[in-house]
Amino acid sequence: MNENEFYEAAEQTLEQIQDAIDDSGADIDYDEVGGILTLEFEDGSKIIFSKQPPLKQLWMAAKSGGFHFDYEPQDERWVCDSGDHEELFAMLSRLATEQAGEAIVLSAS
């Protein structure tokens, strides 16, 4: 994956996250500034996404910790580089549910 492909995949994913939040109806505010996407929950907790071009990764910081995702172009998805290699939207749904205190399902459209 070259740098342009990385930026394209990362930007598309950040847009998909925002669309998924809108589609879910969940009470999650979000803001993207300088390529950093911040999700804020009712209790003030946050999940923050940032692009890491040198590593070609997306990083996610949540209450439960920090996670790094590698892009799998054959499946067009981001997968956590540790643990059980959870897919980004599956992990985001799980962590958003934990932080919101209600069931939230977010998926790429």
The model's pLDDT over 7-37, given as tens digits with 9 standing for 90+, comes to 999 999 999 999 999 999 899 999 999 989 9
Total domains, the chain: 1
In a domain, 30, yes or no: yes
In a domain, 87, yes or no: yes
Q: What is the pTM of this model?
A: 0.92
In a domain, 107, yes or no: no
pLDDT value for 83 = 86
CATH code assigned at 79:
3.30.920.10
The DSSP string of 33-75 is: ETTEEEEE-TTS-EEEEEEETTTTEEEEEETTEEEEEEEETTT
Domain that holds residue 27: 3-48+55-100
